[in-house]
Amino acid sequence: MDLDLISNILFAMVRTGTPLLLVALGELVCEKSGVLNLGQEGMMLFGAVIGFIVAFATGSLWLGVALAIVAGMVLALLFALVAVYLNANQIACGLALTIFGVGLSSFIGTAWVGKPLVGFGTLAIPLLSQIPLLGRMLFAQDLLVYLSFALFAVVGWVLLKTRTGLVLQAVGENPAAASAMGLPVRRVRLLAVLFGGAMAGLAGAYLSLAYTPMWAENMTAGRGWIALALVVFASWRVFRVLLGAYLFGLASILHLVLQGLGVSIPSNLLAMLPYVATIVVLVLLSRDAVRTRLYAPVSLGQPWQPGH
Amino acid sequence: MSYPLLKKQSFKKLLCGLTAALGMSAALSASAQEPLKIGFVYLGPVGDHGWTYQHEQGRQELVEHFGDKVKTTYVENVDEGASAERVIRNLATSGNQLIFTTSFGYMNPTIKVAQQFPKVTFEHATGYKQAKNVGTYLARTYEGRYVGGYLAAKMTKSHKIGYIASFPIPEVIRDINAIQLALNKYDPQAELKVMWVNSWFDPGKEADAANALIDQGVDVLFQHTDSPAPIQTAERRGVYSIGYASDMCHFGPNSCLMSIVNDWGPFYIRTAQQVMDGTWKPEDFWGGLHDDMLKLPISDVVPADVKQGAEKIIASIRSGEFHPFTGPIKDQSGTERLKAGETITNQQLASMDWCVEGLKADMPK
């Protein structure tokens, strides 16, 4: 393999991993607060369609991104009202949200199918992008990818280094104790769910405005679900979420590149690679069951009501 | 004095006339009340702007043609696994008299359900199994691929052509072979690189595959998947592309050479008419350029002389004068598949599982 090829693979790995990273970061924060939101796919699609329509109609990609984030948050708010405040079953609500988001996005998007749009282009940072191997991967991406780097840093910092992170964790571990300490459990959960919605909306906008700038029904093709699985396999640790997302991206790209190099592995086997590789690595990392359990938010998926 | 009588008689006549008219209109409305119920099973979403989108256009043409004489239902996003059979059976039990199943993977479920509903007519797209009440239909997309292969041969500079493929089924292999045949004739040094994405519709993955092929030096891109993402990627990266299923060229205004467009409408109208008239018989219908089931809009990116050459090939295929699969044709191992001058049969096309000589890529086993 020559350097160019590896550099191309790394570049594509980040591009492919970015939507997963964004959604998984949002879901990580959400789950840290004890709420399991299975509606990622629906929120992503809704963000994707709204982002596309707004960008197409106004000509402003950033306005599209902003409203895609809002769109994700609107669906997340619906979810939070029912699952956090009315104590409905989170799993059922999440599934309903996905089904709703898929249907709603197809309905709204019908008139926008087949419309071409010039999306975010790559923005190479001078000098830095010339670094061999890593230059293209880190410094010749589009703006939304840079934004995902920044968001990763912010989420990591907040979760690991700030009081906000501790509050989030307290609410997710033991809402009763957190409440006794005077923490507004439901408000924390609401904000965490909204953050998850915003990230899913942003990931949707990344798909419809940068990755493949167009609207097509179901264009997420299951990425919301993969992101959900990533959070579990990453055992709720933020660096492993990054690792998992890029690993998945890398394996998806290898599936294609290896074929191009004439490696004679059946392509159906190669197509399984992203799933197998990601799961194997993350399972290996978390093979210490006791420690892994320590990282899973204890009250994940359980509704909580003040006074109980 | 006869006036009232006359009036009475005419009143009677009027009554008679009225009843007759009523009867007639009743009969009429009876037939109008019972439109032919037609069901469609779609692989992707109707908004994929590709394969399923074109079938949906065909359904709309059908509705436009017959108005309230037909009542259509469609089910989208039906995967080719277990749920296909359930969906097809549901359509049959809910009174659809004619059901179109529009993807290769629906073949066995269609046959199975058809046995249980002998009075319902089934039409299965791109398959090769017929029954008393199951016909098959497909578009000769390989004709478009051959013309595309000619365009690729004339436009490529790197002599590397890319093909984003979904699954190794006869339909896909046939189309790859058609391009290779054109390359053998018009640019023998060109290499056709095939990349399998194991999906019919995943814009992100299709774009990744396009990027990977372009990274390897490909400068004309074919796709056998259903989203316009490869066209868009080609436009971005400054290489040529050829669209598939629907006219996708507006996604690549400076780079898309041609789209291979399926037009299912005429076939749907014809079949529904036959079912209404009771003249339908199961057949294996292959529609191509000749039947207007395939359209090949060539874009202005293509220079006039190349376009003229392509038009000439299109005309000769349409008239039946030329068939892309005309012998001598050898397969990859050098075995002669068609003797000199021999034209391939539909049966051979339908079950094609071998690659023509010149193709370096192997089919996944």
pLDDT digits (tens, 9 = 90+) for A190-233: 999 999 999 999 999 999 999 999 998 889 988 999 999 889 88
Q: Is the peptide bond before B328 cis (omega within 30 degrees of 0)?
A: yes
**For B207, which of A5, A212, A266 is closest by C-beta distance?**
A212
Query: ipTM for the complex?
Result: 0.82
Q: How many CA atoms lie within 13 A of B331 on its CB side?
A: 12
pLDDT at A264: 67
Residue A260: pLDDT band (50, 70, 90) is: confident
Q: How many CA atoms lie within 13 A of A110 on its CB side?
A: 6
A217 touches chain B (CB under 8 A): yes
**For A264, which of B201, B232, B362 is closest by C-beta distance?**
B362
Burial pattern B110-149, b for ≥16 Cβ within 10 A else e, equals bbebbeebeebbbbbbbbbebeebbbbbbbbbbbbbbbbb
Q: Which DSSP string corresponds to A219-279?
A: TTTTHHHHHHHHHHHTTT-HHHHHHHHHHHHHHHHHHHHHHHTT--S-HHHHHHHHHHHHH
Question: CB–CB of A116 and B250 under 8 A?
Answer: yes
In sequence order, what are the residues at sequence separation of 6 or more whose Cβ sits closer than 8 angstroms to the Cβ of residue B208? A12, A15, A16, A252, A253, A256
pLDDT digits (tens, 9 = 90+) for A44-54: 999 999 999 99
Q: What is the rounded (10 degree) CA torsion for A212, A217, A220, A221? A: -120
Structure-token pair, residue B30: 């009876």
Least confident among A105-109, B27-31, B167-171, B309-313: B27-31
**For A216, which of B47, B211, B361 is closest by C-beta distance?**
B47
A218 touches chain B (CB under 8 A): yes
CB-based contact B313:B323 (threshold 8 Å): no
Cβ pairs A/B, distance under 8 A:
112
Question: CB–CB of A223 and B208 under 8 A?
Answer: no
Structure-token pair, residue B57: 């256009």
Q: Which of B83, B81, B91, B146 is nearest to B121 (CA)?
A: B91
Least confident among A175-179, A251-255, B118-122: A251-255
Separation CA A200–CA B319 (nearest Å)? 53
Residues of A in contact with B198 (CB under 8 A): 267-268, 271
Q: Is the pLDDT of residue A265 over 80?
A: no
Separation CA B294–CA A268 (nearest Å)? 31
Residue of B nearest to A271 (CA): B198
CA-based torsion, A286, A287, A290, A293: positive or negative:
positive
The CATH class of the B36-140+264-291 domain is: alpha beta
pLDDT digits (tens, 9 = 90+) for B28-58: 444 445 899 999 999 988 887 888 999 999 9
Count of residues for chain B?
A: 365
Q: Is B65 exposed, middle or buried (0-12, 13-18, 19+ CB in 10 A)?
A: middle
Q: Is the pLDDT of residue B5 over 50?
A: no
pLDDT at A292: 66
Better-predicted residue by pLDDT, B49 or B132: B132
CB-based contact B133:B92 (threshold 8 Å): no
Count of residues for chain A?
A: 308
At residue B160, the 3 state secondary structure works out as strand
**For A207, which of B77, B204, B215 is closest by C-beta distance?**
B204
Structure-token pair, residue A21: 């990273």
pLDDT digits (tens, 9 = 90+) for B260-296: 999 999 999 999 999 999 999 999 899 999 988 999 9
CB-based contact A153:A17 (threshold 8 Å): no
| Number of other residues whose CB lies within 10 A of the CB of residue B29 | 10
A298 touches chain B (CB under 8 A): no
Question: CB–CB of A260 and B216 under 8 A?
Answer: yes
Taking the domains of chain B in order of start, what are their residue ranges?
36-140+264-291, 141-261+295-350
At residue B357, the 3 state secondary structure works out as coil
Better-predicted residue by pLDDT, A248 or A48: A48
For the domain spanning B141-261+295-350, the CATH number is: 3.40.50.2300
Residues of B in contact with A5 (CB under 8 A): 215
CB-based contact B56:B74 (threshold 8 Å): yes
A110 touches chain B (CB under 8 A): yes
Q: How many CA atoms lie within 13 A of B165 on its CB side?
A: 29
| Number of other residues whose CB lies within 10 A of the CB of residue A6 | 16
pLDDT at A16: 93
Separation CA B63–CA B57 (nearest Å)? 10
Question: CB–CB of B203 and A216 under 8 A?
Answer: yes
CB-based contact B230:B206 (threshold 8 Å): yes
CB-based contact B225:B197 (threshold 8 Å): yes
pLDDT at B110: 96
Separate counts of helices (H) and strands (E) for chain B: 11, 14
In sequence order, what are the residues at sequence separation of 6 or more whose Cβ sits closer than 8 angstroms to the Cβ of residue A196? A26, A27, A29, A30, A37, A40, A43, A76
pLDDT digits (tens, 9 = 90+) for B340-349: 889 999 888 8
Question: CB–CB of A106 and B246 under 8 A?
Answer: no
Over range A236-259, report the average pLDDT: 89
In sequence order, what are the residues at sequence separation of 6 or more whose Cβ sits closer than 8 angstroms to the Cβ of residue B60? B265
Over range B86-115, report the average pLDDT: 94
**Residue B237 is which amino acid?**
R
Q: Is the pLDDT of residue B333 over 60?
A: yes
Residue of A nearest to B235 (CA): A118
Question: CB–CB of B195 and A12 under 8 A?
Answer: no
Beta bridge partners of A232: none
Which domains are delineated in chain A? 3-114+132-295 (1.10.3470)
Least confident among A258-272, B66-80, B165-179, B320-334: A258-272
Q: Which DSSP string corresponds to B193-236?
A: EEEE-S-S--HHHHHHHHHHHHHTT--EEEE-SSSSHHHHHHHH
In sequence order, what are the residues at sequence separation of 6 or more whose Cβ sits closer than 8 angstroms to the Cβ of residue B171? B104, B126, B138, B141
Q: What are phi and psi of A279, to 5 degrees?
A: -65, -45
Residues of A in contact with B248 (CB under 8 A): 114
From the CA of A221, how many Å to the nearest CA of chain B? 6
Better-predicted residue by pLDDT, B200 or A13: A13
pLDDT digits (tens, 9 = 90+) for B228-259: 999 999 999 999 999 998 888 999 999 999 99
Cα A142 from chain centre: 17
